[in-house]
Amino acid sequence: MKNFIFISPHFPDSYWKFCLALKNRGFNVLGIGDAPYFEIPDQCKYALTEYYCCSNMENYENERRAVQYFKEKYGDIDFLESNNEFWLETDARLREEFNIKSGANLEEVKYFKHKSLQKKIFEKAGIKSARYILLTTLEALKEFADLVNYPIFAKPDNGVGSHGTFKMNNYEDLVNFYNSWDKVTPYIVEEFIHGQIISYDGVSNDSGDVLFSTSNVFQTSMQDIVKDNLDDMYYCVPEIDKDFDELGRKIIKAFNLKTRFFHIEFFKLLEDHPYLGKKGTMVPLETNMRPAGGYTPDLINYANSVSVYDIYADSAAYNENRQVPGDKKYFAIASSRRYNTQYCHSSEEIIEKYKFNITMSGDYPIALRDDLGDYYFFGRFDTLLEAIEFDKFVRGKVNE
């Protein structure tokens, strides 16, 4: 029996589904997390062979002791994973220390985490991305702005989500940003791209081949959601564009991404760009070598009539996708709301009108609400028009 250590199996609170899928394929699933055992969901307890609580997971020594304990009790560890961006480097460090071969090492994880290194992979694969510099001096920043024109966009080179991002529309903004920079945190500065964010999501095997792929379409940038406390909408498509799929597979292969979930963000150009290409060109923005945020894996399931949790477990257990999708696919949409916003329709009215379409609803975990909204409704529909009408009903505001 193989041993799979799953880091933080209780957060996000749907990740017990990964653990259960692994258990169903014969793995000993061994959990390490910071929540006391009595706080983790019953489904998670059932899926785990054993759980080790590290009250302070920021201290590497605590996690190292947990892995050592499991190794002494159950034997060699075959997999160690969290599927969580925050723990990528710690996961890799533990894999290296305990000689766990099935996963990325620290050198490979650098390319997962650092946006400037991701661009080197894009370039190596012959794929254009936004022009950039690493922040050094005010003079170099001004030269870059003169080259690509305003606006320009700055974000931590090693960062998650929209935190610490800045948009500069003119020289005054540029100076203000530079003066606010702590001169310690590495920043990447890119030309601003007018495009719609579309993601490439799926699971790879241990050869870096894509076993399953799909795509999500986003209407609002995460930066704007956080900055303006907005509600949100995005949707998963029933069929991925063939050319886009080929492009995504090329990138996954270039990263040599083994037995991993992935979420790669692209800009679909909304206008011709002198360097990047014609309107409609797909331009890679950044890679996230883990599932998309929140309950997006469930949204993908509803669109594709599959279980990506099982596909991931199949990859780990068999190095192939053994799932047979359902007969029908859908447009699956996630519409979120804010508690401090007055909407035209109550939650009860939404549920009554769309009771045969809603697949999930509820509060997002507090830690995810800045980026995703306070509470959500997931629905699935035969057409995109129906899905958009659902979103209008969910997010329609009194004063609009």
Q: Which of 199, 280, 203 is nearest to 237 (CA)?
A: 199
d(CA 212, CA 132): 31
- How many C-alpha atoms does 340 have within 13 Å on its Cβ side? 6
Please answer whether residues 153 and 146 qualify as being in contact, where contact means their C-beta atoms are separated by less than 8 angstroms.
no
283, amino acid identity: V
Ranges of residues in the chain with a pLDDT under 50 are none
CB-based contacts of 278: which residues, under 8 Å, 6+ apart? Answer: 269, 272
Please answer whether residues 311 and 323 qualify as being in contact, where contact means their C-beta atoms are separated by less than 8 angstroms.
yes
Helix axes 171-180, 138-148, angle to 10 degrees: 150
Say what the pLDDT of residue 230 is.
Answer: 80
The string of pLDDT tens digits covering residues 340-392 is 999 999 999 999 999 999 999 999 999 899 889 999 999 999 999 999 999 99
Q: What does the radius of gyration of the chain's CA atoms come to, in whole angstroms?
A: 22
Please answer whether residues 281 and 271 qualify as being in contact, where contact means their C-beta atoms are separated by less than 8 angstroms.
no
Please answer whether residues 289 and 104 qualify as being in contact, where contact means their C-beta atoms are separated by less than 8 angstroms.
yes
Q: Extract the tokens encoding 13.
A: 């609170």
Please answer whether residues 292 and 201 qualify as being in contact, where contact means their C-beta atoms are separated by less than 8 angstroms.
yes
Query: What predicted TM-score, i.e. pTM, was given to this entire model?
Result: 0.94
Say what the pLDDT of residue 355 is.
Answer: 97
Say what the pLDDT of residue 219 is.
Answer: 85
Cis amide linkage into residue 9, ω under 30° from 0: no
DSSP notation for 116-157:
HHHHHHHHHTT-----EEE---HHHHHHHHHHH-S-EEEEES
The string of pLDDT tens digits covering residues 291-322 is 999 999 999 999 999 999 999 999 999 999 99
d(CA 179, CA 170): 15
Strands (E), the chain: 3-7, 28-33, 50-53, 79-81, 132-134, 152-156, 166-168, 187-191, 195-204, 210-218, 233-236, 261-269, 282-288, 331-337, 358-363, 375-381
Decide the pairing of beta strands 166-168 and 375-381: unpaired
Say what the pLDDT of residue 164 is.
Answer: 81
Helix axes 115-124, 106-113, angle to 10 degrees: 100
Q: Which of 325, 363, 344, 86 is nearest to 212 (CA)?
A: 325
